[in-house]
Structure 1
Amino acid sequence: MASHRRPKPAGRARVSILTAAAATAVALSSQAGAHADPAPSKDQVKQQVDTLNEQAEVKTEEYNAAVEKEQGLQKQVSQLQDQVARQQAEVSTIQGSLGEIAAEQYRTGGIPQTVQLMLSASPDSFLGQAGAMNQVGSTQADVLKSFKGEQAKLDQQKAEAEQKLAELDSTTQRLQADKEEIQGKLAQARNLLDSLTQKERDELAAAEAKAAADAKAKATGGQSTERASRDAARTDVAVNVPAGSHAAAAIAAAQSKLGTPYSYGAAGPDSFDCSGLMKWAYAQAGVSLPRTSQEQRSAGTNVGTNIASALPGDLIIYNSSASHVALYVGNGQVIHAPHTGAVVRYETATMSPINAIVRP
């Protein structure tokens, strides 16, 4: 017959341990919830995005410099390869002449040693032997000297071409690394913005649009913010710019691109990064500027860092790394290509620390 014993009650110590473990679990759970990082606010997200955009801009200017270097190296390599091909043809022609001389000597009973030396892979061995020199005529000696000189030139050109090819390969790898780093920072910025609500994103966009409209109102003679917002495509040359000057032409060119999207590495005409816009605008005025903001910092007369010293048409270089550049249009305002996701627009000239004001 089956036993119907009652289960043995848990010991007091065991109950205490289980109770304590449960209490600890509850406490840890509540602490984890209490210490979970809160979602960043709209302003915090904007600050983080601005930082990422600035970092991406630094890498963009490095990317632009690498592109410029790569293009220069490709041109040099092409020229060197052409030189090598022409030099190889010259050496082959001289080798043919040596063969003809050797064959003629052989047919006319020439000295076998001479034939052997002239056909040697190392003409230095021939030229270094005075006895052999006495056994050949001046014509043969001249041909061999010419061969030696042309072969040395060919070897030098080949070595130079190989060096440039290695440098080109290194630059191309750096270019790819810069591109990946830029894309990574921009992806981080997009993810941060995507973490906001649609309402918060709309508020940020509206704030940027209002700031740009206010800047345009000041730059173009004080029209109202409302009118500037309605008339965003209007392109008025800044006040107090000498008509027909390079500055006026550059400003007019930049104003014609208001609303054009930013794109890193782009220099127009359909998209721009910051230095690309400056280079393109001044090119329309007949002035050649270098490609990067760092190079543009040295592309004219440096008039300091006080915005009161700036004249319309000056380049305003920003940040300690000189990673951003804008075009001053007067009344404390600039036109620039800000960052990915934005368009060419007006902005207050003191938007970031000024590194230099340059007059092309």
Structure 2
Amino acid sequence: MASHRRCAPPGTARTARATVLSAAAAAALYATAPAGAQPQEGPEQVRAQVDALYQQAERATQSYDAALEKATGLRGRIEALQSEMARTQQSVNRLRDGLGVIAAAEYRDGGLDPSLTLLFTSDPDGYLERAALTERARHHRAGQLHRLRLAERTLRQQRAQAGARLAELDRTRAQLAARKTTVQRKLNQARRLIDALAPAQRAAAGFGAAQNNRVEAAGPLPDLPTLAPVSGRAAEAVAAVRGALGSPYVWGSSGPSAFDCSGLMYWAYQRAGTTLPRTSQEQLTAGRHVPLGQARPGDLVIYRNDASHVAMYVGGGKVIHAPYPGARVRYDPVTMMPVTAVVRP
């Protein structure tokens, strides 16, 4: 999500500065400036501070995406457990009702000792037949009691599992709230730095609306003939990501009209019938790694040592990605920032 001037080729002094600047150093620079004050540094220094804040925000965004994915999975498991509990409870109720009928019948027929009942009955054969039925009913009751105990034990286990999942969901929601606060705080800090610049300084630092919203014409890409997509699904993913050009960056979003960096990759490959992991860190392990020099359209390009940014290689030395808040999905050079890996899903 770090910002990059599109006119600066790889290897320039500006790229080198962005590469070596640490997030801690940037935070220290910002901490020395009062909130909302006119920055004393020049546009390039502010650019470096904002880039670092965007990088920190993107790291927090990927953590947010992971927690959101976990929360979604937990909700699905809780719903499945609740459905299982409802079915188990129905089974318990039926077994209890059946045992109640048997117990009532035995109570009615059990007032006298069986030998006396046989002595005084006017229909001994009928009594013996009923006695045999009663014995079979007792065996049936024993089986039902066993099934009832098993069902009740299953129900207790399901309730315990649901309680644990609900507690985990509560913890995950707290993580979501904390990470959301972190993202918003970093973005607000960046916004204050940008707003404190004069209009000419903003343009010099690359924060003008034209730079942030610029999207190259979506005509034929300057692709090399030897760099065709490796598969039909890769070609479909490239077509999808090109169709997203101009869409706004919104952190935590995975389409169809707004994206963060990993959300764009997730959405594009979903359109191609493939489900990628949701975060850039997970996407780092979502396929075979290939050298940058062998990248082909549809490959994922993972950036920074912490794998906090991802783009899709589309050929001609270019990627398409969702850069940072305030910018739109666009083309950029594949070497726009340090490459960690190239992943072929």
- Partner of 2:284 in structure 1? 297
- Partner of 1:63 in structure 2? 64
Whether 2:262 is the aligned partner of 1:262: answer: no
TM-fit CA distance, 1:358 = 0.6
TM-fit CA distance, 1:283 = 2.4
- Partner of 2:21 in structure 1? none
Secondary structure in 1 matching 2:255: coil
> CA offsets, 1:31-88, max 9 Å, x none?
xxxxxx9712111111000000000101111111111111111111011011111111
One-letter amino acid matched to 1:324: H
Whether 2:295 is the aligned partner of 1:310: answer: yes
Whether 2:243 is the aligned partner of 1:242: answer: no
**Shift in CA distance, 274/86, structure 1 to aligned 2, threshold 3 Å:** same
TM-fit CA distance, 1:258 = 1.8
Provide the rounded CA distance (Å) in 2 between the counterparts of 1:254 and 1:275: 12
TM-fit CA distance, 1:355 = 1.2
Provide the rounded CA distance (Å) in 2 between the counterparts of 1:297 and 1:236: 28
Q: Which moved more, 1:267-276 or 1:345-354?
A: 345-354
C-alpha RMSD over aligned residues: 2.7
- Partner of 1:253 in structure 2? 240
Provide the rounded CA distance (Å) in 2 between the counterparts of 1:193 and 1:210: 14
One-letter amino acid matched to 2:344: R
TM-fit CA distance, 1:346 = 1.4
CA contact (8 A) 1:236 1:252 kept: no
Provide the rounded CA distance (Å) in 2 between the counterparts of 1:330 and 1:321: 25
Runs (5+) with no aligned partner, structure 2: 1-37, 113-134
Runs (5+) with no aligned partner, structure 1: 1-36, 112-133, 214-228
- Partner of 1:126 in structure 2? none
* TM-score in terms of structure 1 length: 0.73
- Partner of 1:142 in structure 2? 143
**Shift in CA distance, 234/52, structure 1 to aligned 2, threshold 3 Å:** same
CA contact (8 A) 1:233 1:259 kept: no
> CA offsets, 1:289-313, max 9 Å, x none?
2211111111111114xx2121222
Larger radius of gyration: 1
- Correspondences of 1:1-360 after superposition (within 5 Å): 39-109=40-110, 137-205=138-206, 232-239=216-223, 240=225, 241-242=227-228, 245-304=232-291, 307-360=292-345
Provide the rounded CA distance (Å) in 1 between the counterparts of 2:152 and 2:144: 12
**Shift in CA distance, 315/212, structure 1 to aligned 2, threshold 3 Å:** farther
Secondary structure in 2 matching 1:328: strand
Provide the rounded CA distance (Å) in 2 between the counterparts of 1:62 and 1:39: 33
Secondary structure in 2 matching 1:137: helix
Secondary structure in 1 matching 2:305: coil
TM-fit CA distance, 1:342 = 1.0
Secondary structure in 2 matching 1:181: helix
TM-fit CA distance, 1:327 = 0.8
TM-fit CA distance, 1:110 = 5.6
TM-fit CA distance, 1:201 = 1.2
* TM-score in terms of structure 2 length: 0.76
Aligned residues: 284
CA contact (8 A) 2:240 2:268 kept: yes
Secondary structure in 1 matching 2:247: coil
CA contact (8 A) 2:277 2:286 kept: yes
**Shift in CA distance, 49/103, structure 1 to aligned 2, threshold 3 Å:** same
> CA offsets, 1:86-115, max 9 Å, x none?
11111111111222222112111269xxxx
Provide the rounded CA distance (Å) in 2 between the counterparts of 1:53 and 1:208: 17
Secondary structure in 2 matching 1:268: coil
Provide the rounded CA distance (Å) in 2 between the counterparts of 1:110 and 1:358: 80
TM-fit CA distance, 1:237 = 4.1
Provide the rounded CA distance (Å) in 2 between the counterparts of 1:163 and 1:182: 29
Provide the rounded CA distance (Å) in 1 between the counterparts of 2:109 and 2:91: 27
TM-fit CA distance, 1:330 = 2.1
One-letter amino acid matched to 1:293: S
One-letter amino acid matched to 1:150: A
CA contact (8 A) 2:212 2:328 kept: no
Secondary structure in 1 matching 2:278: coil
One-letter amino acid matched to 2:81: L
**Shift in CA distance, 67/211, structure 1 to aligned 2, threshold 3 Å:** closer
Bigger relative contact order, structure 1 or 2 (CA pairs below 8 A, ≥6 apart): 2
> CA offsets, 1:330-360, max 9 Å, x none?
2322111111111111112122221111112
Secondary structure in 2 matching 1:316: strand
Provide the rounded CA distance (Å) in 2 between the counterparts of 1:147 and 1:330: 64
Percent sequence identity over aligned pairs: 46
- Partner of 2:6 in structure 1? none
